Structure 1
């Protein structure tokens, strides 16, 4: 990586990180003083593992619907194209602990779910591509390693 890129994650050496983790990517301040906190919520080790699409799609629906029950001002939680994690954007809350606690509760909601919300052709653009079981497997693995979420780079 010789040239600094416009996209923050393109400047991150993906060979040096240790998933799973939750990482504050950046803070953007609006004209009226509102601040947006963007997080990299990495579920899988880059270039070594990825979430299968049907499970990823379902956990996206479940997290998008449920995280708003646990933390205010969520702007978006969306999957990375590499299928290794999600970006989470929250407004006016700089508490890393609040984010981690909301993620833990949200992933527990995934484990408790009996259906995928908005899993139909009216509310979803690819309704046939879902797996509640896959979403639960992803959530269970992430939760089982919660004690690692704060560590982005391996200890040396």
Structure 2
């Protein structure tokens, strides 16, 4: 099995919430892609309910793009402790942190979850705006760091 970057992280030593620059990949034509770990909750101690995580995914898909250019994707982690985001270029973790905090502040005032219908979402019944707001508030109060190990 090829090496998986996230499996190299010692999940026992990290302190969430944080924004971690995982890697910068160089493409065959000189392009660069950066992957980030946007960790909201402490691994192996906390996990978001799927409806809150799913709603945050929908909300951040739009709001994060308003504050950070060149996003390729934002996806929830299977462990439900945060998200991965991938961007074009070599981007600093601090820039992503500032953008994430701005996007989460928008989540706090959201009145609906975008694309919460059967046309645009494959599981539209499993969304919680209330839950998304609660977790946004929780991580904003704790504060994100770009330092991730104790």
> TM (normalized to structure 2)?
0.95
Count of residue pairs brought into register by the alignment: 150
For residue 34 of structure 1, the aligned residue among 23, 31, 37 is 31
Question: Is the Cα contact below 8 Å between 1:54 and 1:134 reproduced in 2?
Answer: yes
The corresponding residue for 1:44 is 41
The corresponding residue for 1:15 is 12
Q: CA deviation at 1:93?
A: 4.1
| 1:79 is the counterpart of 2:64 | no
| 1:153 is the counterpart of 2:149 | yes
| CA offset digits 1:72-106 (Å, max 9, x no partner) | 10000100000011001111142222211110111
Q: Distance in 1 between matches of 2:10 and 2:95?
A: 27
| 1:89 is the counterpart of 2:86 | yes
The corresponding residue for 1:141 is 138
Q: Distance in 2 between matches of 1:46 and 1:120?
A: 31
SS of 2:58's equivalent? helix
Between 24-33 and 117-126, report the one with greater CA deviation.
24-33
| CA offset digits 1:98-138 (Å, max 9, x no partner) | 21111011101111100000000000000100100000011
The corresponding residue for 1:100 is 97
Question: Is the Cα contact below 8 Å between 1:5 and 1:11 reproduced in 2?
Answer: no
> TM (normalized to structure 1)?
0.92
SS of 1:153's equivalent? coil
The corresponding residue for 2:64 is 67
